[in-house]
Structure 1
Amino acid sequence: MRYDKKIVNRLKKSEGQMRGVLNMMDTEKDCKEVVTQLTAIRSSIDKAIGLIVAENLVQCISDENSGLTSEEAVQEAIHLLVKTR
């Protein structure tokens, strides 16, 4: 599967935010600030997961060789989304 550059960039941004959180912890920043940043990272990653699943769903439905019916592809996508929560 090809991954959109926007998704890759979103994850790279999350990676940078995670390094920032580690730095915040090293410098003993307030726990509220750390948790706020971690929440932002989680939100960004959740959005990336949604985009990846959506793209995969389109690919599965359009791929004649997948062996999945449209309904099965949708159920698989829903399962992936629920599993991440």
Structure 2
Amino acid sequence: MVIEEKKILNRLKRTEGQIRGVQKMIEDEKECIDVITQLSAIRSSIDRVMGMIVADNLKNCFEHPAENPAEQAKKLEQAINMIIKK
């Protein structure tokens, strides 16, 4: 998971920068539409990170199944519920 972990952390760092940018926009009294546009981009970025984490979890479940089938089914159900929860 080293590559995926690095991608996730990089995306989160970019998102953190976007949030700081929005804070500055608000301090500078930028137009509402510009702030909302940036907030929408932040939301998309966070959604993408969540998808990456859930996908990695699902991949891990299939590559390294739990010894207990009931536990495996529970993990898969949790991951699926996280995806469709939107």
| Structure 2 runs not aligned, ≥5 long | none
Letter in 2 for 1:15: E
SS, match of residue 65 in structure 1: coil
Q: List, as ranges, runs of 4+ consecutive aligned residues in structure 1 with deviation greater than 3 Å.
A: 64-69, 71-74
Q: TM-score, normalised by structure 1?
A: 0.82
Q: Show the counterpart of 2:78.
A: 76
Q: Which position in structure 1 is the counterpart of 2:66?
A: 65
- Give the CA deviation at 1:56: 0.6
- Structure 2 length as normaliser, TM-score? 0.81
Deviation per residue, 1:24-53 (Å, 9 max, x gap): 000100000000000000001101100110
Structure 1 unaligned spans of 5+: none
Q: Partners of 1:72 and 1:39 in 2: how far apart?
A: 33
Q: Deviations over 1:31-82 (max 9, x none)?
A: 000000000000011011001100011112222436334x544322121123
**Residues 52/23 of structure 1: CA separation in 2 closer, same or farther (3 Å cut):** same
The amino acid of 2:64's aligned partner reads D
Q: Shift of the alpha carbon at 1:11?
A: 0.7
